Structure 1
Amino acid sequence: MKEEGTTLQLINLPDIVLETILSNLTYDEIAKNRIVCKTFDDICKKLLNRGFNLMEKYHARCLRAVKSQLPRRESERRTHPLARHCDILTAIETRISMLSMTFTKYVDLNLCCFIPGKVIDEIFRVLRLIRISKTPPRIPEILQELRDISCMAMEHFDEKILPNLKHSIYTSVVANVSSYESLMISHHSSNSKGSPLPHNFGVDKLNQAFKKIYSRTKKNKKTVLCVKGQISKMKLRMNRQSFQMRLQNLKLQEHTKKIQDQDAQLAEMRKHLEEWEQKLGDLTAELSRVREEIQKSDSLENCKRKIADISVPCESSLLKTKDLQVKKRKLIVERKSSSDNQDIKFKKFMSELLADSSIGSYPSASH
């Protein structure tokens, strides 16, 4: 009872809310929830068809991204690190084309939806694994599950579902033909009873209506072809513009990288300039200090020279005066010549004294 109450509450919700709730499930679970009720069936059909279209677009984007990184030479592609990625994506592409050939025709006629949701989940899983991993597994290992479930899905569709769809298509066609025949029979019977004008008038109207419908279908086909051509042209333009945008993004990245390198070089040059300015300031301070020392030393040498110039004549005059005194004393001693022993002793004493005084006077003068 509780489950029935919850299902009733869910059914009473708007379709957009139910779509957002069911879109959080996997596609396999969405396919299994089709048996709940008619509203669930309609919403799940819509989600499964949308999931198949999204899967095709995501696969095309992944294949385009891988092929843009591969080299153009076939011999270089085999040795490229993304060669295995490309092989897996091409194998998935063939599998998707087989599935679309099986289901798309009947999906476009709104007779069924893309029933195998597990196939969509598996393809998304393989694509995400290829997008993330740099060295994916080999093709038989990674695509074994996808091949098995896709083959089972296509065989089940051909054996179990397609005969019922063909039977429904045949019955609908037969019903339309029988209704048209009954209409024509009624017109014919009315004509046989004596009313030729209404019958002829009705047939003429029908022929005119069919001619109008035929002409409109021709015009619609032409307009559809024109629109398809315009859409293809628009797609080509969009591809070219996206390619140009990629090139411009690459150029912008290169320019930003160059600007960053130049900023780094400028910062390094500023650092060197600051170092050289500091060194130059130190050198100027050292040079000024050396100049001051040289000036001080020059002033001291000048003072010493002056003092030496003053002291040299003083010393020479002192030496001269002392020599004169010594000479005078010698003359005095030599003049007193006598034969007395005392005088001889006195003379010897004076000569020794003078000799001692002369020897001791020279070092005092030098100082």
Structure 2
Amino acid sequence: MLQLINLPDVVLETILSNLTYDEIARNRIVCKQFDRTCKMLLNRGFNLMEKYHGQCLRAVKSQLPRRESERRSHPLARHCDILTAIETRISMLSMTFIKYVDLNLCCFIPGKVIDEIFRVLRLIRDSKTPPRAHEILQELRDISSMAMEHFDEKILPDLKHNICTSVVSNVTSYELPSGSLMISHHTANANTSSLPHSFSSEKLNQTFKKIYCKTRKNRLSVLSVKGQISKLKLRMKRQGFQMRLQSLKLQEQAKKIHDQDTQLAEMRKHLEEWEQKIGDLTAELSRAREETQKPDTIENCKRKHIDHINTHDNDPIQTKELQAKKRKLIVERKSSSDAKDMKFKKFLSDLLGTGQSKDCIPSTSQ
């Protein structure tokens, strides 16, 4: 036994956690260390039991239909009834014990109730068709009712008495509004027999003086805290103003960045256009250079063609043949009495006459 007591709290807690909650509750009487560890395990077990029950209830309700009439014929209807009855039983236990557990006056004493609730929850989880609610919850109702009655009749009066005595003994921890309450010696002597725990008037006067001193100190501390709070509020206002200014600056910077992005996009577009134009100009330049480097250009061809035509015009033999062909065509034309035809013939004869005179001139000169 001494070896168990000398173990660290973590090791002792791990060893006791392997027991049932009923056995943990029974082992509280061993020693103070066991009592402290068992109290913590019992309170933790009650919280775990509440969480596990809530998970089971949510899982079952999520599978039930929304209509109340359809829930009665559903296979999980009996599960839901059992879990709802356990929920009411847990709420009754919580109202009985948890208020005093939170005040650290006691722990959740009935460990057997936790074991029974866990047993019912595991049975509901593992079986598809559990028994009826009044059958499976009979033991839980009996032991929980007995635990609550025992707590109300046997344990609660002692807890209330301990609360009253702790309040009276720790009266210096309470604050009064102001002023020192002095009790006269005559009234004190008359009522000393009625005061609990044989308090004298001198002790009461000392306690009230201490209370008054503490109230003054508390007032000063409250004033200093209020001053600090006001300073913090001013600082928060300044910080808020600076944050608003920074947000405005950020908005302006974002607008400028957007404008610069648009300008850069336009400049990039212009650069692409100029690059296209420069590419076209370089292509034309290269084409012009290639044409200038060729031996027979178009202008030379034109000049050669004009010179060839001029040489043919200056040949007298070819001109005479052309004139003879023209005359033959005129002679072979049918005679017509039309005035227009006569005018045309005259025009041609004049034209041919002038042409012969011109042809004769260069021959005489030669």
Question: Which TM-score applies when normalising by structure 2?
Answer: 0.50
In 2, the alpha carbon distance for the partners of 1:96 and 1:108 equals 16
Give the structure 2 partner of residue 41 of structure 1. 35
Q: Which of the numbers 209, 216, 220 marks the counterpart of 1:207?
A: 216
SS of match in other structure, 1:45? helix
SS of match in other structure, 1:111? coil
SS of match in other structure, 2:164? helix
Structure 1 residue 73 corresponds to structure 2 residue 67: yes
Give the structure 1 partner of residue 277 of structure 2. none
Cα distance, 1:211 vs structure 2: 7.6
Cα distance, 1:175 vs structure 2: 1.4
Which digits, 9 at most, give the CA deviation of each residue in 1:154-191, with x for residues without a partner?
0000000000000000001111237879x9679999xx
Q: Which of the numbers 49, 52, 55 marks the counterpart of 2:46?
A: 52
**Structure 2 stretches of 5 or more lacking a match?**
186-207, 226-366
Which digits, 9 at most, give the CA deviation of each residue in 1:17-76, with x for residues without a partner?
000000000000000000000000000000000000000000000000000000001111
Which digits, 9 at most, give the CA deviation of each residue in 1:222-271, with x for residues without a partner?
xxxxxxxxxxxxxxxxxxxxxxxxxxxxxxxxxxxxxxxxxxxxxxxxxx
Give the structure 1 partner of residue 349 of structure 2. none
In 2, the alpha carbon distance for the partners of 1:15 and 1:134 equals 41
Give the structure 2 partner of residue 118 of structure 1. 112
Q: Which of the numbers 2, 21, 25 marks the counterpart of 2:15?
A: 21
In 2, the alpha carbon distance for the partners of 1:171 and 1:159 equals 20
Equivalent positions of 1:194-233 (< 5 A) are 203=212, 206-209=215-218, 212=221
**Letter paired with 2:216:** N
**Retained in 1: the 8 A contact 2:172–2:211?**
no
Do the aligned partners of residues 155 and 68 (structure 1) sit closer, same or farther apart at CA in structure 2, a change above 3 Å counting?
same
In 1, the alpha carbon distance for the partners of 2:119 and 2:70 equals 29
SS of match in other structure, 1:137? coil
Structure 1 residue 176 corresponds to structure 2 residue 185: no
In 2, the alpha carbon distance for the partners of 1:70 and 1:168 equals 49
Q: Which of the numbers 159, 162, 166 marks the counterpart of 2:156?
A: 162
**Letter paired with 2:55:** R
In 2, the alpha carbon distance for the partners of 1:110 and 1:20 equals 22
In 2, the alpha carbon distance for the partners of 1:211 and 1:78 equals 66
In 2, the alpha carbon distance for the partners of 1:160 and 1:66 equals 38
In 2, the alpha carbon distance for the partners of 1:56 and 1:214 equals 44
Do the aligned partners of residues 204 and 115 (structure 1) sit closer, same or farther apart at CA in structure 2, a change above 3 Å counting?
closer
Give the structure 2 partner of residue 63 of structure 1. 57
Do the aligned partners of residues 69 and 172 (structure 1) sit closer, same or farther apart at CA in structure 2, a change above 3 Å counting?
same
SS of match in other structure, 1:17? helix
Cα distance, 1:123 vs structure 2: 0.1
Do the aligned partners of residues 36 and 42 (structure 1) sit closer, same or farther apart at CA in structure 2, a change above 3 Å counting?
same
SS of match in other structure, 2:74? coil
Cα distance, 1:208 vs structure 2: 4.5
Give the structure 2 partner of residue 9 of structure 1. 3
**Structure 1 stretches of 5 or more lacking a match?**
1-6, 190-198, 217-367
Cα distance, 1:201 vs structure 2: 12
**Retained in 1: the 8 A contact 2:172–2:210?**
no
Do the aligned partners of residues 119 and 205 (structure 1) sit closer, same or farther apart at CA in structure 2, a change above 3 Å counting?
closer
Give the structure 1 partner of residue 134 of structure 2. 140
Give the structure 2 partner of residue 104 of structure 1. 98
In 2, the alpha carbon distance for the partners of 1:179 and 1:52 equals 32
Percent of pairs with identical residues: 79
CA RMSD of aligned residues (A): 3.2
In 2, the alpha carbon distance for the partners of 1:211 and 1:187 equals 27
Structure 1 residue 95 corresponds to structure 2 residue 89: yes
In 2, the alpha carbon distance for the partners of 1:201 and 1:141 equals 61
In 1, the alpha carbon distance for the partners of 2:168 and 2:210 equals 26
**Letter paired with 2:54:** A
Cα distance, 1:206 vs structure 2: 2.1
Which digits, 9 at most, give the CA deviation of each residue in 1:309-363, with x for residues without a partner?
xxxxxxxxxxxxxxxxxxxxxxxxxxxxxxxxxxxxxxxxxxxxxxxxxxxxxxx
In 2, the alpha carbon distance for the partners of 1:146 and 1:164 equals 26
In 2, the alpha carbon distance for the partners of 1:100 and 1:165 equals 17
In 2, the alpha carbon distance for the partners of 1:214 and 1:145 equals 59
Question: How many correspondences in the alignment?
Answer: 200
Q: Quick check: which one's helix share is greater?
A: 1
Give the structure 2 partner of residue 84 of structure 1. 78
Which digits, 9 at most, give the CA deviation of each residue in 1:179-213, with x for residues without a partner?
879x9679999xxxxxxxxx999946623416857
In 2, the alpha carbon distance for the partners of 1:22 and 1:159 equals 29
Question: Which TM-score applies when normalising by structure 1?
Answer: 0.50
